[in-house]
Structure 1
């Protein structure tokens, strides 16, 4: 049977960064890996960020987001069926940051998928600089993503103080308690280490972490109603302009509650990936991109967002 691993994490937590490291480790161990990317909307930015992993032992498939739960389940099921006979021995799924983990488990239990695939490891990526206050819907997603994780990875831990790391862990525990989760987190459930320092022994331990059986009181809401996105193609703005103006989106209440901004821009040296949360913005060179900026959040006003970006 083909082992399927799931990498969850709220918007901007750092799932794709960990995915790159994990998939590279799996291929180095001789596995034939397929990465299944499900970004929030029609422009799959995260899939573009892992293109350099493509090779004889690594392929990528995508699922478009932005649809209702039933439609999304059908798309995931159809994609997994089409992948089943292609010789992969590992599938790594990176869903959007507002993914319902129960949906993933339900799909794998369906026939004929239950005869072809087996659930392996579930990872939850949690930002060490997690905001102190989130909406009830965001709190639920945060908790539900961590509830079944075999290991919780604290991202950006090297940038956080000890107090900030402890605050993020306490926040996660409160979110789990709020949805009456049956799981109690312990120190052993967390990996708190700069991912740049991960060694093969660390990755081997992660590859054997499995998953947990945990129950939560489900908060019923349509994630695609609670969270929205605004897409901007070919804005015509320079890297410097975007880096200067994107931070204002997180502080301008008229824009809505902006949770994440990601996309690509081209400068004199080539393509650059932009990734921003309320805690800051990073820019990193990439081999290829597309001039697009995606803003994800709650109650977004696209016209106001564009006005801020265009200054």
Structure 2
């Protein structure tokens, strides 16, 4: 049976960064790994960021979202069927930041997937400052994705003090109560940071399993008019332009509730990746990319956001 792991986490939490570290651990053990990426746009930025993992021991696959629930589930199942024929030791699934975990269990327990796959781990990535600036709907998404996780990884924990981490844990537990989930997390459920995870940490995470917990479900998806993504192609922006645009978009409440800005741009014949949340904009050189900036959030105003970036596609 192929072990299949689900890596959940709210928009911009750091799922892709964790997957690079997590998949590399299995590859070093001599295992073959298939990574299945899901995105709600035609351009999967996160998949581009995982290109360095591609080798004889690791392959990347993608399903596109932006469709109704049944179509998405069918695409998910079809892709897993084709991946099941490849003989991987482990499959790692990164869904979008807004995801119903029940879909994961429903699909892998369907025929013929139930003959090929067994659930391995559910790992939730949460920003160590998750208590800051989340709306009620965003809080629900965070709690629902943590409810079944075997381990919770607190990203950006090196950027905050211990009191902030305690506040975040308290906030998560309050959010779990708010959705009717009996689970309460403690430090034994948590690993702090991503980049500093050791092989010993990763071994523990790779054996964490999952929890089955019930909660009061809400109908939230990327098509409900609340959560959305805006794509801006061929902007021609440079690094200083991108930083300024991100700062202005986060500061201007008329843009909507901005959760994350990500994408690529080219400057001086080199490709760069941008990943911005409210408190920080990171720009790193990468091997290759595509000129696109994606703005993710709630109740977005495309015209006002576009004033800071360029034409909206």
TM over 0.5: yes
**Does residue 207 of structure 2 align to residue 208 of structure 1?**
yes
Three-state SS of the structure 2 residue aligned to 1:180 is: coil
Per-residue CA shift, 1:272-300, capped at 9, x if unaligned? 10001112110111100000010011111
Q: Distance in 1 between matches of 2:131 and 2:279?
A: 8
Offset of 1:114 from its aligned partner?
Answer: 1.1
Count of aligned positions: 310
Q: 1:195 to 1:134 in 2, by over 3 A?
A: closer
Per-residue CA shift, 1:84-139, capped at 9, x if unaligned? 11111100001111111111111111111111100001100010022434222211
Given that 2:31 and 2:90 are in contact with CA atoms closer than 8 Å, whether structure 1 keeps it comes out as yes
Q: Distance in 2 between matches of 1:214 and 1:27?
A: 31
Greater shift, 280-289 or 248-257, is seen at 248-257
The equivalent residue for 1:274 is 274
Pairing of 1:119-130 with structure 2 (within 5 A): 119-130=119-130
Gaps of 5+ in 2: none
The equivalent residue for 1:153 is 153
Given that 1:132 and 1:171 are in contact with CA atoms closer than 8 Å, whether structure 2 keeps it comes out as no
Three-state SS of the structure 2 residue aligned to 1:197 is: coil
Three-state SS of the structure 2 residue aligned to 1:242 is: helix
Three-state SS of the structure 1 residue aligned to 2:209 is: coil
Offset of 1:253 from its aligned partner?
Answer: 1.5
Q: Distance in 1 between matches of 2:269 and 2:163?
A: 38
Q: Distance in 1 between matches of 2:185 and 2:75?
A: 33
The equivalent residue for 1:38 is 38
Q: 1:133 to 1:243 in 2, by over 3 A?
A: closer
Q: 1:11 to 1:306 in 2, by over 3 A?
A: same
Q: Distance in 2 between matches of 1:13 and 1:298?
A: 16
Three-state SS of the structure 2 residue aligned to 1:98 is: coil
Gaps of 5+ in 1: none
Q: Distance in 2 between matches of 1:114 and 1:272?
A: 41
> TM-score with structure 1 length normalisation?
0.96
**Does residue 2 of structure 2 align to residue 11 of structure 1?**
no
**Does residue 237 of structure 2 align to residue 237 of structure 1?**
yes
The equivalent residue for 1:300 is 300
Per-residue CA shift, 1:168-219, capped at 9, x if unaligned? 1111111100001021212211112x43322211111111101111111111
Offset of 1:40 from its aligned partner?
Answer: 2.7
Q: Distance in 2 between matches of 1:3 and 1:221?
A: 28
Given that 1:22 and 1:203 are in contact with CA atoms closer than 8 Å, whether structure 2 keeps it comes out as yes
Greater shift, 48-57 or 36-45, is seen at 36-45
Q: Distance in 2 between matches of 1:251 and 1:220?
A: 29
Per-residue CA shift, 1:244-285, capped at 9, x if unaligned? 221211121111111111000111261110001112110111
The equivalent residue for 1:198 is 197
Given that 2:245 and 2:309 are in contact with CA atoms closer than 8 Å, whether structure 1 keeps it comes out as yes
Q: Distance in 2 between matches of 1:197 and 1:308?
A: 35
